[in-house]
Every structure is written in structure tokens, then in C-alpha cells.
């Protein structure tokens, strides 16, 4: 589904990713772990197509298409979703309207009729209920005054609605409360299917006890220095990065 080959990425002329290769097949969940500053978020932004990340070498292919040639919106419509990408606050835009607009844009792209506000609200309530999200939150403007946990719940709901083929989750801050963490995990687990895949980026093992990955990779200093199964996450948690990856792979 997703094939990254020898990807090199620079930000402001500084090389951050130094030859990353990764193949994610349909039905698989891969986790990327790694010390702070290793390039985890950079990788997620490059997949989503954020500005300012210069690809200086290598390729990303998504379902046979050159992903890097697509605009961010095209990537989204092709089924790629980056959670926690937009921590921005959108005053005056209701959460429901925001979600409906995103959802209908995808339906329109697939040639399906848009849902009217009533139909959409019904769908939204079902999805929110399934994830245990309070619908009170939906009455507020997008992310305005939302706590970190509420923003993540909102993203989880967006993901449940859009049902992306390939979801990338970047657990950017570690301050996620356990309930929000479970909602995020549940939203990924519900999408698990032989036709979909996900990349879960996290600094800690915590999220991975709720989302069981098929493969775990350690990113250090812009390179994948070790790959393994779900047990690798536990080993990392127990021993720390420096003791698990090859000598010299984690800069001190
Ligand atoms: P991680 O998510 O693994 O903590 P990041 O991808 O955020 O790592 O960052 C990797 C490296 O790139 C860090 O050294 C960071 O300082 C640098 N970096 C990230 N974004 C920028 C930027 N916009 N400008 C300059 N350096 C950046
Ligand atoms: Mg190289
Ligand atoms: Mg990060």
C-alpha cells in the first residue's frame, strides 16, 4: 500500500531524514518509535505533504501512485489521513460543520451524493457514541478552548467519519490522558481491516498497549535503525533506546 524508498528530507537546508525505507502492506499497522528529534514528525508531515519539507532523494508510492506528486488535498482524497496535523483553532466554525464539510468533500470526490445536515448529524452521533465521545463537545468551535485530550478526541472522530485507507497518527505530546488515549486507540482499531493500514508514531510504548502493531521500527537520527514485532516496543520501554539499537545509532 505504502512504499517509502531511501527517503531524504531537509528542513531549512538541514537534512532530517537520511534515507528512510519502509513498506506498509494492506491490513498492517506499523509503529514508529524513536527518541525526541529523530525525525518522526518530519516523516508524518512529508507523507501528508506539509510545506517546508524538501524531499532531496527517494520516493513515496501510495497504492501505485507517486504520493509526493500529489497536493495535500489530493492525498487526503486518495485516502491518506494525518491525525493531529491541524492543532489550529478555527473560531466561528462549528465542529459539526467542519466535519461535515470534510466528509462531503470526500463523498463528492467519490461521486457520491453529499449528506444533508440532518443525515450527517445522525452519522456523527453514531460514530461519537461508538467512540464514547460526549456530543457536547461538538457544539463548540473547532478546537477553540479544547483541551489536548479534546482535540485528540475530535481528530479521532474525524478519522472515524472519513474512514481513511491509510492513517498516520503522530502522538505529538505525551500529555494525553488515558481516556483520550483509549478513544484514539479505539478509532484506529475500528478501522483495522484487510483493506486499510496505519502508521502509529509514538515516543512511548503506552499507546501501543492499546493499538497492537504488527511491526515496530525505531527511527534514530533520521534513519530506521531497527525493526521488529510488537515485542520490540516493550523492549524499548524496558531498556531505553540506547540499549536496543546498534552502537552509535542514537546520538548522545
Ligand atoms: P521527532 O518528531 O522525532 O521528535 P522532528 O521530526 O520533530 O522529530 O524533528 C527532527 C529534527 O528536525 C529535530 O532536530 C528538529 O529540531 C528539526 N526540525 C524539525 N522541524 C524543523 C523546522 N521547521 N526547522 C528547523 N528544524 C526543524
Ligand atoms: Mg541514502
Ligand atoms: Mg514529533
Choose between 200 and 88: higher pLDDT. Answer: 200
Instruction: Quote the ligand 3 centre to 165 CA distance (angstroms).
Output: 22
CB of 36 shorter than 6 A to ligand 1: yes
Q: What local confidence, expressed as pLDDT, does residue 114 receive?
A: 94
Atom of ligand 1 nearest to the CA of 38: 3
Q: What SS3 class is residue 202? A: coil
Q: What local confidence, expressed as pLDDT, does residue 137 receive?
A: 76
Nearest Cα to 218, choosing from 58, 31, 25? 31
Q: What local confidence, expressed as pLDDT, does residue 38 receive?
A: 94
Atom of ligand 1 nearest to the CA of 44: 6
171: which 3 cell numbers?
A: 502522538
CB of 34 shorter than 6 A to ligand 1: yes
Query: Which of 101-115, 126-140, 192-206 shows the lowest per-residue confidence on average (mean pLDDT)?
Result: 126-140
Is 0.80 topped by the overall pTM?
yes
Of 33-42, 154-163, 235-244, the range with the highest mean pLDDT is: 33-42
Q: What local confidence, expressed as pLDDT, does residue 138 receive?
A: 78
CB of 39 shorter than 6 A to ligand 1: yes
What is the ipTM score, two decimals? Answer: 0.92
Mean pLDDT for 142-156 is 78
What ligand has the least distance to the C-alpha of 171? 3
Rounded CA gap, 95 and 137, in Å? Answer: 8
Q: What SS3 class is residue 206? A: helix
126: which 3 cell numbers?
A: 453514531
The domains located in the chain, with CATH, are: 2-88+164-244 (3.40.50.300)
Closest-CA residue, ligand 1 atom 12, reads: 16
Rounded CA gap, 168 and 201, in Å? Answer: 7
Instruction: Quote the ligand 1 centre to 72 CA distance (angstroms).
Output: 20
**Segment 47-99, tens digit of pLDDT:** 999 999 999 999 999 999 999 999 988 898 899 988 765 555 566 677 788 88
Closest-CA residue, ligand 1 atom 26, reads: 11
Mean pLDDT, the chain, rounded, equals 88
Q: What's the alpha-carbon Rg for the chain, to the nearest Å?
A: 18
Instruction: Quote the ligand 2 centre to 252 CA distance (angstroms).
Output: 22
Beta partners for residue 65, in sequence order: 62
Q: What local confidence, expressed as pLDDT, does residue 109 receive?
A: 85
Calculate the alpha carbon distances from 195 to 28, 179, 184 in Å: 9, 28, 20
Amino acid at each position: 500500500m505504502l512504499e517509502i524508498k531511501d527517503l531524504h528530507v531537509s528542513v531549512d537546508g538541514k537534512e532530517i531524514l537520511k534515507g528512510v525505507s519502509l513498506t506498509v502492506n494492506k491490513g498492517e499497522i506499523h509503529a514508529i518509535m524513536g527518541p525526541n528529534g529523530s525525525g518522526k514528525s518530519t516523516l508524518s508531515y512529508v507523507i501528508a505533504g506539509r510545506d517546508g519539507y524538501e524531499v532531496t532523494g527517494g520516493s513515496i508510492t501510495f497504492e501505485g501512485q507517486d504520493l509526493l506528486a500529489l497536493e495535500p488535498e489530493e492525498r487526503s482524497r486518495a485516502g491518506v489521513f494525518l491525525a493531529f496535523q491541524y492543532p489550529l483553532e478555527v473560531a466561528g466554525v462549528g465542529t459539526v460543520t467542519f466535519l461535515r464539510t470534510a466528509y462531503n468533500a470526500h463523498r463528492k470526490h467519490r461521486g457520491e451524493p453529499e449528506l444533508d445536515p440532518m443525515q450527517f448529524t445522525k452519522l456523527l452521533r453514531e460514530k461519537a457514541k461508538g467512540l464514547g465521545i460526549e456530543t457536547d463537545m461538538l457544539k463548540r468551535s473547532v478546537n477553540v478552548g479544547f483541551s489536548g485530550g479534546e482535540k485528540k478526541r475530535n481528530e479521532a472522530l474525524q478519522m472515524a467519519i472519513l474512514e481513511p485507507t491509510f492513517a498516520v497518527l503522530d502522538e505529538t505530546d505525551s500529555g494525553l490522558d488515558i481516556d483520550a488515549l483509549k478513544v484514539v486507540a479505539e478509532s484506529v482499531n475500528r478501522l483495522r481491516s484487510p483493506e486499510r493500514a496505519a502508521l502509529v508514531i509514538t515516543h512511548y510504548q503506552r499507546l501501543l498497549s492499546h493499538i497492537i502493531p504488527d511491526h515496530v521500527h525505531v527511527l534514530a537520527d533520521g534513519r530506521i535503525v531497527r525493526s521488529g514485532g510488537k515485542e520490540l516496543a516493550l523492549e524499548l520501554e524496558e531498556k531505553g533506546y540506547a540499549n536496543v539499537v546498534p552502537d552509535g545509532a542514537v546520538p548522545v
